[in-house]
Amino acid sequence: MTEQSPVTSGAPPVQSEPAEGPDAITGWRRMHPITPALKGWRIVVAVVTIVVIQSDNLREAVDLRHGKAWLLVLGVLAVVALVGFAYSSLAWRVTRFAVTDEAVHLRTGVLFRQQRQARLDRLQAVDVVQPLLARLVGLSELKIETAGGDGSGVSLAFLREADAEVLRSELLALAAGLQRPTSVPTASAPISTDVPPAAAVAQAPAPAPFDAAPEREVYELPMGRLIVATLRSGAVPALVLAVAGIVVAVVASRDIGALFYMLPALFAGAAFVWNRVNQGANFRAAISPDGIRLRHGLTENRAQTVPPGRVQAIRLSQTPLWRRKDWWRVEINVAGYGQGSESQRDTVLHPVATRAEAMTALWLVLPDLGVEDPVALVDAALDSTGDDAGFTGAPRSARWVDPIGWRRHGFRVTERALVTRSGRFWRQVDVVPHERTQSLGIEQGVVQRKFGLASFVLHSTPGPVSPRVEHLGAAVAAALLDEQSARARTARATATPEQWMRAVGVPTGTADAPPEPST
């Protein structure tokens, strides 16, 4: 049985045509001229990978090298490279972007032309990404995430690193409601002279850049802690046990062929460790008037900026092997990041946090939990069971459904957010501001119905956080559904405007220093 209580969220998708018409936009700009070289090589790598995968064995490759057929292979690769770089060059020539006070406009397409618009009032995050090759030549990719589901974002690849930083500050300032400073000529963002006549209405000077908002670093992840925590995560011990079991089986059966079954597991374990270390390396967070700034990455540098109020939900999680160190992983839901492997990297607020750092990360998202002692509330959510510290826990009848973790299921409602907890060994604490509630529901299975239980579900935007409270009393879950729906409507009615700097009266073109986060 599932009951739904929707909470309206007006977040329109990215439009394919700008409201003022495509021909009325001026100031179209191109990506950096080296862009075709950075994109064209991917086609060559893909073809080489397919050829290697399709090779039957190494002997075939050796025979091919000693014969004359390798000349044909090289010729095919040369043609593929030529076609790939030629197509990338054509795509670069027809790709342009423009920034207005309301949106970012992007024109793409060689055979089929497309113009997309990312509205700044729906901007969720702005990321500056530097893949390894782009970093070597001083270029960056600017990713603009908007509220509109998967595929709603806009990617500007590639720009000069300095230009990408200036453009990021400009987009965040415009999204915050600031007015442009007085326009002055500048050479940092030249206007294209070969745009179609209908679009080239005027060759106005480029707008003056906004001053970068000041920031203050709040925490940084030591490399040693990241490596130790990765090795102590659940996947690595499981991999070690699997390898040990296969080795024992090989020794017992005296069949070395069983070793080949270890290869996929070894590759998966190595990829997991590498991804965690590569993505979490050099991780640091700072607070700024334009939002939360996150920087991380080893081979690929990423600089994320999440504006205030764009975080939909936050989760603190802990594995059993992190319990002794009291380490926590902090993740968030942000509309526009969606799901998949890339979102698992973009939605991390702290890969391995101490308890104090985890609380600081929570204050960055929600400075006011709506209680007199927020530290005591978070401590209770992380450690308490049953009805301790004002939480409403699962009834004793829930032990027949979940005999191990039933005492950890519970929730507490404050003036600002709903706090849920779960997990005896793999602990989780979810915090959802009332105004960010998307919809609510109650789920009840056959066994739950027999014992008078039900699960309360809070639906958020796609991401790692899926708040729910298992095995509550059916009457308690129903009451929470009605009360939380009313709280969400009231909170949305009193929420601050999307253009946050205009709401607080920040002077045009400037930004005050951020307040000191409480711990």
Say how far apart CA 186 and CA 279 lie, in whole Å.
Answer: 36
What is the 3 state secondary structure string of 10-79?
Answer: CCCCCECCCCCCHHHCCCCECCCCCHHHHHHHHHHHHHHHHHHHHCCCHHHHHHHHHCCHHHHHHHHHHH
Taking residues 317-322, report their average pLDDT.
Answer: 95
Q: Which range, 120-124, 143-147, 231-235, 320-324, has the best average confidence (pLDDT)?
A: 320-324
pLDDT at 516: 43
pLDDT at 356: 96
Say how far apart CA 404 and CA 513 lie, in whole Å.
Answer: 48
Task: Report the half-sphere exposure of 390 (CA within 13 A, side-chain side).
Answer: 15
Helices (H) and strands (E) in the chain, counts: 14, 21
Q: Is 285 exposed, middle or buried (0-12, 13-18, 19+ CB in 10 A)?
A: buried
Amino acid occupying residue 249: A
Say how far apart CA 63 and CA 176 lie, in whole Å.
Answer: 63
Give the tokens for residue 108.
Answer: 């793409």
Say how far apart CA 130 and CA 121 lie, in whole Å.
Answer: 26
139 beta partners = 160
How much of the chain exceeds pLDDT 70, in percent? 76
The continuous run of DSSP H or E covering 486 comes out as helix 474-493
For residue 62, CA distances in Å to 28, 66, 179 come to 52, 7, 65
pTM for the whole structure? 0.79
| Backbone angles phi and psi of 255, in degrees to 5 | -120, 105
For residue 278, CA distances in Å to 16, 340, 347, 488 come to 36, 17, 15, 38
Say how far apart CA 225 and CA 282 lie, in whole Å.
Answer: 11
pLDDT in tens, 50-68: 666 555 544 455 555 555 6
417 beta partners = 433
pLDDT at 243: 74
Which residue spans within 169-326 are E strands per DSSP?
216-220, 284-288, 291-296, 301-306, 311-318
Q: Are 344 and 462 in contact (CB under 8 A)?
A: no
Say how far apart CA 40 and CA 50 lie, in whole Å.
Answer: 16
pLDDT at 222: 97
Residues 6+ apart with CB under 8 A from 30: 92, 93, 95, 96, 192
Q: Are 430 and 436 in contact (CB under 8 A)?
A: no
Task: Name the residue with higher pLDDT: 259 or 189.
Answer: 259
Asked if residue 486 has pLDDT above 80, the reply is: yes
Closest-CA residue to 119 (of 16, 14, 29): 14
pLDDT in tens, 359-386: 999 999 999 899 999 999 999 999 999 9
pLDDT in tens, 427-453: 999 999 999 999 999 999 999 999 999
pLDDT at 513: 38
Asked if residue 69 has pLDDT above 80, the reply is: no
pLDDT at 195: 40
Which residue spans within 89-150 are E strands per DSSP?
96-99, 103-108, 114-119, 123-130, 139-146
Task: Report the half-sphere exposure of 289 (CA within 13 A, side-chain side).
Answer: 25
pLDDT at 364: 93
Q: 126: helix, coil or strand?
A: strand
